Structure 1
Amino acid sequence: MDMIKTLLVVLYCKKHFSETRVRFSPLQLLWKQAQTFPLFPALGEMESHMFECVNQAAVHEELEDETRRLCDVRPFLPVLKLVTRNCGRAERLLDSKIGVLIGKGLHELDAINEQEVKDFRSKMFRFSEERMQRVQMMTCTEWLQSCFSPQLEPAAGSAITDGVNDRPSDLKVIIHFDLSQVSLVNKMMYTLVSLPQHNQNLPSTQVQVRAGLFHGTELLCKPAVSSESSGRSEHTWKESTLEFEISVSDLPRMTRLCFAIYAVMDKVKKQKSTKNHYPIAWVNTMVFDYKGQLKTGDIILHCWSSFPDELEEMLNPIGTIQTNPYTENATALHILFPEYSSHPIVFPPFDKVRQTSKFHIELKEIMERDPLSQLCENEKDLIWTLRYDCRENFPQSLPKLLLSVKWSKHEDMAQLQALLQIWPKLSPRDALELLDFNYPDQYVREYAVCCLRDMSDEELLQYLLQLVQVLRYEPYYDCALTHFLLERAQGNRKIGHFLFWHLRSEIHMPAVSVQFALILEAYCRCNIPHIEVLKKQVEALSKLKSVNELIKLGTIKNARSKTKEAMLTKEAMMTCLRQSGYSETLSDLHSPLNPNVMLVEKCRYMDSKMKPLWIVYNNKLLGGDTLGIIFKNGDDLRQDMLTLQILRLMDLLWKEASLDLRIVPYGCLATGDRAGLIEVVSSAETIANIQLTSSNVAAAAAFNKDALLNWLKERNSGDALDRAIEEFTLSCAGYCVATYVLGIGDRHSDNIMVRSTGQLFHIDFGHILGNFKSKFGIKRERVPFILTHDFIHVIQQGKTGYTEKFGRFVYCEEAYLILRKNGNLFITLFALMLTAGLPELTSVKDIQYLKDSLALGKSDEEALKQFRQKFDEALRESWTTKVNWMAHNVAKDNRS
C-alpha cells in the first residue's frame, strides 16, 4: 500500500510541480487519478490523508495548509508522501505550522527520549491551554491591549515557579546531608573513550581524562586526573575511578561536572623530556538532574571539539551542558555515576537559618568596585562575616556576597538561603548581574527574576537581547527565567515578537537548538493568533535569501563584464520578484524590525561583497512614508545588534540626565544563521560620498574641509542651518564619547554618515572593544575617536580659532561622566553575552577594555584628566585619520 501511495504522489508531483500557480487541492486531483489504480478502495477515505515532504531544512513537513503553493513548499526533492492522519486535523495543522515557524519539526522534539524534555513540554501544553482559555474570555478591548499596547504593565502576581522540586510527591526519599559527611565521598567511574575517525591519527595514542566540579566558574575542589590509556580508537580504563576531595553533602545544587579529554605527547629535548597535552574534546554535565536527584548509573556524553581560548586545565565550565547532537563525529565518553543508596538522593531544601552580626566595619571601598575586580580571600571572609551589614547598608552588593560564599559548605548555603528571604529587592538593572554565569544557584536566579518583574515593558525590551542569551546558563529547561520571558511575551506582542526572533535566529546552533525550540513551541502554543503574522515574516525572509543567492550566482557567472553582470542580474532579480508567490509573500508584511510597521516592497541590490538587498517600502500605517530596510545574507549581525543596543542605552541614560545628544540607534535584527535586517536611516549620506562629490580627485577629497559644511548649507538655510549645526555638534559629541568608551574601530569615511538635518551617526560595528584594524603589523587607526578638523570646521560654522561654538563641545565631558556612573551596568551587559559566540567578545579580558576606557576605580577628576588627554590626542592626530580616509577613497574609486 505504501508503494501505491508513493507512486501516486510522484505522478502528481511530475504533473504539477512546475505549475507555480497551482494550489494544493483537498486531494481531489490525486484521488481522481488514483481511481485508475488497483487496490484503490484500500486507500480509505480521502479526508483521512495528507501530504508530507522533507523540506530544505531536512525536516519532515506536514502540508496541512491547503492554500500553500507547491513552489512555496520547496521540498528537498520533488517528491511528496501521502500519509494517514493519526489525530485531529486542527492539532496536526497547528503542529505543522509551529514546526515550520520555529525552524525545527516537532517530530524532532517528539523523538527526544529525555524525561526532562517530556515534562517541560507537558507543563507548557497545560499552561498554553489555560492561556488560550483566558484569551477566549477576554473582551475586545482587553485583547487589543494585551497584543498591541507597549505601555501595558504585566498583571500582578508571582512567576510560575511550580517546579518539580517543590512538590512533596517528588521528594520520595531525602538523605539528610549532614549525616553523610564521612560516609559519602563523591566518585565518578568511567570506562571508555571512543574517538572519532579524524582523531585516531594523533601524534600520540596516550589519552587522559581530566574532570573538575564547578559552581559557576568556582572550582569546588582539586580536579581529578585519570591514568594514561593506550589505544587507537577506543580507550578503556578498567576499574578506574576519579575521586574528588569533597563530600556529596557539600555539593551545591547547581554543581556541574566538567571533563577534558586530551592526548599526551612525548617531546624529547636535548637536556630533558617533557610531556605536552593535545586537547581532543570537552563536555559538561550536571551532578543533579532537573528534579534535584543525584545522578546515578551509566551515561554516554558526546563531546565538543572546539576549545575556547585560555581555558584553565582545558576544563570549560562556562560551556554548555548539552551534549553534541552530531554523535557520529563526536568523541564519546562513557561514564558511570555510582549508587550511594538504594533510594534516590534528592537535594534537600535549605533550612532558614538566621545569624546576627554585630560588626560595623566600613565596606564602602570593597562594595563600590566594578564587577571585574577580583576579591582576595581575606576580603571574601570579611564580606561573609559582615553579611548582615551588607544587607543593611549595601544591598546592591549582593553579587559580591555571593562570590564570598563557600559553596562547598552546605552550612553557608543554608545561611545564604535564609538571608535571601529578607534581602531587599534590587533594581532591575542591578539584578541583571545575578543572571551571569558566576551565579548559578537556582534560588539566587529566582530572586533575580523576582526583581526583574518591576521592569516596564520598554525596559524589558531594552535588555531582552541579554535575557535571551543568559538562557544558555540555565542548566534545566524549566526555570524561572523561561517562565518570566514567556509570561511577559504573552502580555505584550511586541515583546513576544522580539523574543521569537532572538530565539529563532540561533535555532541552528547545536548547543541551544533544543532549548530554544522548546521555548518557541511554548510561545507559539500560547499565542496562536500571532503565528500567521510570524509565519509570513519567516517565509518573506526565506524568499529574500533566495533572491540574494540568485544575485550572487549571477555576479559570479558574469564577473568578467560588470555592465553585463548588472543588467542580467537585475533582470533575473525582477523576474523572480514578479512571481506571484514572491509578490504575495513580500506584500502587506509586518516588518520584523518593527512589528507595528506594515510594508509594501520595492527592491534593488547593493554592490558590495555579500550583495545585500535594499528594500524600499511605503508604510501603510504611517501615511505612506518611505522606509528602507537592508537584508544581509552572509554576515553575522549580532555584534552590530549588541553595539546598537548599547548606543540606545547610552542615549537613554543621557536623556534621563536631561542631556540629548541626538544619537541615531537605527534598527538591526539578526534573523538566522549569518542573516538579518538593518534599518536604513532616511535622508543620510556617507562622509566618503559627500567628499567625493565635492572633488574631482579621490585622493584629494578627504582633505577638502569645506565639503561637509557646504553639503549642509545646500540643504539648510537661515535658521535651519543653525539648527543643523547644533544637531551636528550634539551628535558628534555623543558619538565621540560612545565610540571611545566602546572601542569601536574601522572608522573610515564610508561608515560615518550625516543626515540632511545635521545629525552625524556611525554604522557597521564589526570591530569593538579596542580591536582596531592594522596592516602589516601597523595600526591604521591611531586616534581614540574620530574628531577631524572638517568636523570642527562645521561646528564653528567655518570660523577659525577657538569659538563659543566649539566651547560647547564640553558636552563630551558631561556625557562621559554619566556613562562612568553606569559602568557596572555596561560591564554586566557585555558579560551576559560572553557565550553568544561573538568574534570579539569571547572572554572577560575583552570586557577589560570597558573598565579601562571608563577609568573605573579612579576618581571623577582622574577620569576627566584621562579623557581630556584622549580628546587632545584625537585633535592632534586627526591628520592620520585623513590619510586613512584618503587611502579608503582611492581604493573605493579604483573598485568602481
Structure 2
Amino acid sequence: MPPGKYGMQEEGDQEIMMDFLLPTGIFLKFPVSPNDTIKSIKKMVWKNARSEALFSALGDPDAYVFTCINQTAEREELEEESRRISDVRPFMGVLRLVAREGDRVEKLTNTQISLLIGKGLHEFEAQKNHEVNEFRAKMRTFCEEKAQERQMLPWQQWMEYSFPCDLEPCCSPPECGSVKSKNTKKIFINVKFEACDESFMLQQDPQDFPVALMKSALKKKATVFRSVRQEPEDYTLQVNGRWEFIYGNHPMCQFKVSDRSRLKPQNTSSLWSINEPFYIHLLQGSRVNADEGMKLVVQAGLFHGSELLCKVVTTSEVTVCSEPLWDQKLEFDINVADLPRMSRLCFALYAVIEKAKKPRGTKKKNKKADCPIAWVNTMVFDYKDQLKTGEFLLSTWPSVPDDKSDLLNPMGTVEKNPNVDSAAGLLIRFPNIRPHPLYYPPLDKVRILKSDMEKNGDAAIVTKEERMKLKEIMDNKNHTEFFEDEKDLLWKLRTEVRDHYHESLSKLLLITKWNRREDVWKCFLLRTWRDLPAIHALELLDYSFPDPVVRSFTIRCLRKLSDDELLQYLIQLVQVLKYESYLDCDLTTFLLERALSNWRIGHFLFWHLRSEIHVASVSLRFGLILEAYCRGNIHHIKLLSKQNEALGKMKALSDFVKSGSQKMTADDLKLCIRQESYLEALSDLLSPLNPSIILTEICADKCRFMDSKMKPIWLMYNPCTQEDMVGIIFKNGDDLRQDMLTLQMIQLMENLWKKEGLDLRMIPYGCLSTGNKMGLIEVVKNSDTIANIQRNSSNSAATAAFNKDALLNWLKSKNPEDKLDRAIEEFTLSCAGYCVATYVLGIGDRHNDNIMIRETGQLFHIDFGHFLGNFKRKLGINRERVPFILTYDFVHVIQQGRTNNSEKFERFREYCERAYKILCRNGMLFVNLFAMMKAAGLPELTSFKDIQYLKDSLALGKSEEEALKNFKVKFNEALRESWKTKVNWMMHSLAKDNRP
C-alpha cells in the first residue's frame, strides 16, 4: 500500500480500502480507518464474512492470525493485535487470514521482540550458523534462569532491582580497615565425579579459581580411592549441563568433575607441536568492480589485536574481471605452533593503476598507485578453539583509506558483510594440516615449558640499577611506546611488575611477543595476578588485548563496579563489544547479568544496543544480545515497546515538518499531535532519557519545532506531580553519540569533583541516541541562550555581543534582592566547571547560541559537534583562538558588577585550578574511555592520534606543578584574548539576527 495513505491526517479522515483473503477461499474488500487495530479489523472481517458462503467453516477468531507482506517485502504474521494498521503498513493493502500454528504465546513473544529490536528473529534462524544457534540457546537459558531467580527475590531486593536509587556522588568515607577481608565467608560446594557414585561437600573460598577447587576435589578423591594419577588440568567442571570455567561463587554451588579428554576427539595432535609454516589458499574473487586496464591484488596479514604477527603477504596481479582467479598459496612467516589463540587474518583487495610514464632519460621505474576496493577479516580459529579447515566465502566491506599502510583493517569486524548479493567476495581455503581436527591447547595443559619457565625469567637475578630503571618506566603513566632495551627489561622483570606494579599489566601485555608460543605461555601470570581496580581494567578491553584469558581477567575485575559506576561507563562497554571476535564472550554475559539485575542498567543497555541495530557490522551481535535481554525480562518488553512506538511517531512528526513547505507553522504540528493515534502513542510512557520519569499527558499547545536545519521538535508534557512541565527535544538527522560522549565526560568530571568535595553546579543534561541519526535531548527548564539575552537587551545585533551588562541585568531581573548573591555564586561555580571541562575536552564551535544560563544562575554549554581540539574554521581561518570561553561579561557577573572586586575573581580562579588538578589526577581514566570509543566510528575520534589532544590538555606524564603552570598560562590567554571571542559572537549574532 502506498505510504502516502498513512500520512498526516486528522482523525476520521480518509478510510483505506483493504483486501482480505480468507482460508475458505472467500475474498473480502471493505474500508478501514488508519487508526483501526488488527484486533478490531478481525472483528470487522467476521462481521462481513457472516453474509458470505462457507462462513460456517470458519472457527473461532482466536484460532486465526493475519499475515501480510510488509514494507521490507517480507512475510509477517501479525500476532500483536493491538497494533494499528497505520503502523503495520501492509504492502498493497492485502491481509491474509491463516490458521494459527505452534505455541501462540511463544509466537507472540517472538513478534513483540522482533518489532521492538527492529530485526526479525527469523533472520537469526536464516543464518544457519552453528555459532549463532549455540549462542542463542545458551543466552536464552542463562537469561531465563536470571528471570526465575528474580521472581524469587525478597521484596526488598525486588524493589532495589525495579527502582534503583539514583544517589548524588559525595566525598568517599574513610577506609574501615581490613575487617571485611577477615570476615569473608567460605561457601560449601557439592562435588560429584563423573561415572562414580561418590559425592561430597567441600569448603571453598568464593574467590578461588577452578584450579584450586579442582585440586581440592582430586585430593579428596585420592583419599577415597587411594589411586589417582591424573593432574587437575586433566579434568574440567560441568555446571548446569554447560562446559565452562566458573570464576568465583556460582549460585548453584554444585559442580561435576569430568575427564577433559571426553570433551574433544581422542585422535588429535597438539597444535604447539606443529612446526610448519602456516598458509592458506586464495582461490578467487567474485562481484569485483574495478576499471578496465587495472590489475587486482590481494594483501593478507596475520594480526593479534593491533600487532602484526609476521610480514604481510601479497598476491600476484591479475587482470580485472568480475570473478578474478588467483588460485595461489599464501604462506606466512610464522609456524602453526606459534599462532596465538586470537589470530586474525585480514585481507585487503585493491587495484593497481599504472601511473604516467616518466620522460626519457629518467632512471626511475614507473610507480604504481593503489586504489583500495574492499577489506575483510576472519578468525584463524573457530569459536570452539579449532583451527579452521575448508573453504570460506568472505563477503567484503568497501574501504577508502588514503594510503597503502591503511589497506588492512585489523580493528574492523570479523563479521562478513551481510549484503552478499552486492559485496565483493573472496574465496579462501584453510588447509587440512592434519587428518584430524587441531585445537588450540589450554595453557594449563601444556607442561613442556615449565622447566624453561623456571630457568628463564622467574628466577632471574635483579640488580639495583634494573629496579630503578623499572620504577622510572612504571612511574611514567603516559609511557606506552618502549625502546628495545626497555622491552627487554620489562620482560625480564615481569614478576617484579606483577608483584609491585600490578596496575601496569597493559604495558607487559603490549610488549609480549604473541608470535612466540613460549612468550605467550610465560605471559600468563594472570593466573596469579592480583585484580586491578575496575577503572584500570577498562583499558584491557581495547582491541589491542584480544586474548580470551586477558578478557576474562578483565571482566573479573569489572565485577567490582557498582551499578552507578557501571552505568557511568556503559556507553564504552557497549562499544567495545564490537572488538569481540566471537558471539559468546565474557563481556556479553557480564552486561546481560548486570542488566537483568538492575532495571535501570537494562533500560540503557537496550537503547545503546538498539540505536546501532542499523549498522550492518554489528546488527547480528547486537540483535542477539537484545533478544536475550528481552527473554530475560519479558515484563520490560511492554514498557520499551511503548517508548519505541512513541519514537516512531516522533520521527513521523519530524518527517512531516521537514517535508512541509516554508509556510509550515507550529499550529500544523499541533494539529497532527492532536490525532488520536498520536496522542495515545506519545502519552503515558517512561522517558527513554530517564526511566524514572513518567511522561504522562502530552500538551499539544506547548509543542513546537525549531527553525534550525534539522527542525528539532520540542515536546512538552504536563507534570504527573506538582512540578513544572517536562520537556524533551526529538532530533532527526544528527548523530547524537558525540553529544552523548561529551555529556558523559562532563557528568564524570562532576562526579570526580563532588567526591573531592567540590560541587561546580554542572548541568550534564540528558541525551540519548535512539537510532540512525535520531535521538532525544532533555529540555533544561527556565533557561535561555547568551545570544538571546544579549539580543533582547540591545537595539543592534552588531553591539549586542559587546554589552557587558546584559547577563548581570538579566540575572538581577530573575533573582530579586537576596537571591542575587546565590545566583552569582551559581554562575561562578558553573562557569569555572565549564571553563575547565571545555578546555580539557577541546570543545569547539563555542558561540553565544550554544552557551546557556538558567534563571538560577547556572551556566552550561550545549551542542557538542566538535571536540578534541577540532575547532571550527571558516575560509581556512580558525575562528576560535582561545583555549576556552572566559569573556569580560562573564567576569563582570563573577565580580558582581564591580571592577575592583578582585577577591571574587581570584576565588573563581582557585575553583578552576582545583578542578583542573582533580581531572589531571584521573587523566588516564578519560584517555581510556575515549580510546574505548574508537569503535563508535565518530568522525573526530577514529584513532589514538585523535586522543593526543586529551593527553596534552591533561598534561599526562608531567608533574602536578608542571600541569598547573601550563593551565595558568591557558587561563591568562583565555582572559587576554576574550575580545576575539566577542568578535566571533558578533559575527554569529549578525548572521542569526532576524529582526527587521
Q: Pick the TM interval, shorter chain.
A: over 0.9
Structure index of larger Rg: 2
Counterparts of 1:205-244 in structure 2, within 5 Å, are 205-238=294-327, 240-244=328-332
Letter in 1 for 2:673: L
Secondary structure of the corresponding residue to residue 941 of structure 2: coil
Aligned to 1:109: 124
Deviations 1:362-399 (A, max 9, x none): 32332233457312232222111111111111110000
Q: 1:329 and 1:19, CA in 2 relative to 1: closer, same or farther beyond 3 A?
A: closer
Aligned to 2:444: 351
Q: 1:447 and 1:36, CA in 2 relative to 1: closer, same or farther beyond 3 A?
A: same
Aligned to 1:180: 274
Aligned to 2:347: 259
Q: 1:151 and 1:683, CA in 2 relative to 1: closer, same or farther beyond 3 A?
A: closer
Matched, 1:442 2:548: yes
Q: 1:122 and 1:47, CA in 2 relative to 1: closer, same or farther beyond 3 A?
A: same
Matched, 1:844 2:944: yes
Q: Distance in 1 between matches of 2:977 and 2:561?
A: 44
Q: 1:12 and 1:784, CA in 2 relative to 1: closer, same or farther beyond 3 A?
A: farther
Aligned to 1:455: 561
Instruction: Say if 1:302 and 1:332, in contact at 8 Å, map to a contact too.
Output: yes
TM-score calculated relative to the size of structure 2: 0.84
Shift of 1:137: 3.4
Instruction: Say if 2:287 and 2:423, in contact at 8 Å, map to a contact too.
Output: yes
Q: 1:189 aligns with which of 277, 281, 284?
A: 281
Secondary structure of the corresponding residue to residue 803 of structure 2: coil
Q: Distance in 2 between matches of 1:747 and 1:290?
A: 48
Counterparts of 1:499-538 in structure 2, within 5 Å, are 499-538=605-644
Aligned to 1:618: 718
Q: 2:698 aligns with which of 591, 598, 601?
A: 601
Q: Distance in 1 between matches of 2:966 and 2:27?
A: 74
Shift of 1:136: 3.6
Secondary structure of the corresponding residue to residue 324 of structure 1: coil
Deviations 1:481-535 (A, max 9, x none): 0000000000000000000000000000000000000000000000001110000
Q: Distance in 2 between matches of 1:538 and 1:64?
A: 18
Deviations 1:450-491 (A, max 9, x none): 001001000000000000000000011110000000000000
> For structure 1, which segment, 639-648 or 266-275, has the greater mean C-alpha deviation from structure 2 after superposition?
266-275
Matched, 1:752 2:845: no
Q: 1:709 and 1:19, CA in 2 relative to 1: closer, same or farther beyond 3 A?
A: closer
Letter in 2 for 1:207: L
Shift of 1:814: 1.5
Secondary structure of the corresponding residue to residue 101 of structure 2: coil
Letter in 1 for 2:314: V
Q: Distance in 2 between matches of 1:870 and 1:94?
A: 58
Q: Distance in 2 between matches of 1:22 and 1:465?
A: 37
Counterparts of 1:671-710 in structure 2, within 5 Å, are 671-710=770-809
Deviations 1:411-434 (A, max 9, x none): 2222222x1011111111000000
Q: Distance in 2 between matches of 1:729 and 1:59?
A: 59
Q: Distance in 1 between matches of 2:28 and 2:768?
A: 37
Aligned to 1:712: 811
Secondary structure of the corresponding residue to residue 398 of structure 2: coil
Secondary structure of the corresponding residue to residue 117 of structure 1: helix
Aligned to 2:368: 275
Q: 1:724 and 1:10, CA in 2 relative to 1: closer, same or farther beyond 3 A?
A: farther
Q: Distance in 1 between matches of 2:436 and 2:99?
A: 45
Q: Distance in 1 between matches of 2:760 and 2:766?
A: 18
Q: 1:211 and 1:580, CA in 2 relative to 1: closer, same or farther beyond 3 A?
A: same
- Return 5+ residue gaps in structure 1 as ranges: none
Letter in 1 for 2:981: T
Shift of 1:731: 1.0
Instruction: Say if 2:542 and 2:932, in contact at 8 Å, map to a contact too.
Output: yes
Matched, 1:890 2:990: yes
Q: Distance in 2 between matches of 1:301 and 1:894?
A: 56
Q: Distance in 2 between matches of 1:365 and 1:12?
A: 84
Aligned to 2:14: none
Q: 1:826 aligns with which of 897, 903, 926?
A: 926
Q: 1:727 aligns with which of 805, 808, 826?
A: 826
Instruction: Say if 1:13 and 1:80, in contact at 8 Å, map to a contact too.
Output: no
Deviations 1:130-179 (A, max 9, x none): 23333343444443332222479xx9989999976767654225421332
Letter in 2 for 1:828: N
Instruction: Say if 2:37 and 2:82, in contact at 8 Å, map to a contact too.
Output: no
Q: 1:895 and 1:778, CA in 2 relative to 1: closer, same or farther beyond 3 A?
A: farther
Aligned to 1:200: 290
Matched, 1:312 2:405: yes
Aligned to 2:973: 873
Q: 1:312 and 1:278, CA in 2 relative to 1: closer, same or farther beyond 3 A?
A: same
Q: 1:543 and 1:836, CA in 2 relative to 1: closer, same or farther beyond 3 A?
A: same
Q: 1:83 and 1:372, CA in 2 relative to 1: closer, same or farther beyond 3 A?
A: farther
Q: Distance in 1 between matches of 2:479 and 2:610?
A: 31
> For structure 1, which segment, 720-729 or 354-363, has the greater mean C-alpha deviation from structure 2 after superposition?
354-363
> For structure 1, which segment, 53-62 or 634-643, has the greater mean C-alpha deviation from structure 2 after superposition?
53-62
Letter in 1 for 2:353: M
Aligned to 2:743: 644
Q: 2:669 aligns with which of 573, 596, 606?
A: 573
Q: 1:364 and 1:38, CA in 2 relative to 1: closer, same or farther beyond 3 A?
A: farther
Q: 1:571 and 1:681, CA in 2 relative to 1: closer, same or farther beyond 3 A?
A: closer
Q: 1:433 and 1:216, CA in 2 relative to 1: closer, same or farther beyond 3 A?
A: same
Deviations 1:586-617 (A, max 9, x none): 11110000001101222221221111111112
Q: Distance in 1 between matches of 2:262 and 2:643?
A: 44
Q: Distance in 2 between matches of 1:753 and 1:495?
A: 30
Aligned to 1:144: 159
Matched, 1:135 2:227: no
Q: Distance in 2 between matches of 1:305 and 1:278?
A: 12
Q: Distance in 2 between matches of 1:829 and 1:454?
A: 18
Secondary structure of the corresponding residue to residue 732 of structure 1: helix
Deviations 1:436-461 (A, max 9, x none): 11100011011000001001000000
Secondary structure of the corresponding residue to residue 530 of structure 1: helix
Letter in 1 for 2:110: D
Q: 1:890 and 1:14, CA in 2 relative to 1: closer, same or farther beyond 3 A?
A: farther
Counterparts of 1:114-129 in structure 2, within 5 Å, are 114-129=129-144
Letter in 2 for 1:810: E
Q: Distance in 1 between matches of 2:149 and 2:244?
A: 27
Q: Distance in 1 between matches of 2:25 and 2:475?
A: 71
Q: Distance in 1 between matches of 2:632 and 2:732?
A: 31
Matched, 1:245 2:333: yes
Secondary structure of the corresponding residue to residue 631 of structure 1: strand
Aligned to 2:10: none
Aligned to 2:532: 426
TM-score calculated relative to the size of structure 1: 0.93
Aligned to 2:682: 586
Deviations 1:177-209 (A, max 9, x none): 33212xx3210101111234xx2325x331111
Q: 1:59 and 1:525, CA in 2 relative to 1: closer, same or farther beyond 3 A?
A: farther
Matched, 1:476 2:579: no
Q: Distance in 1 between matches of 2:955 and 2:801?
A: 33
Q: Distance in 2 between matches of 1:868 and 1:90?
A: 66
Q: Distance in 2 between matches of 1:720 and 1:101?
A: 48
Q: 1:338 and 1:39, CA in 2 relative to 1: closer, same or farther beyond 3 A?
A: farther
Instruction: Say if 1:784 and 1:870, in contact at 8 Å, map to a contact too.
Output: yes
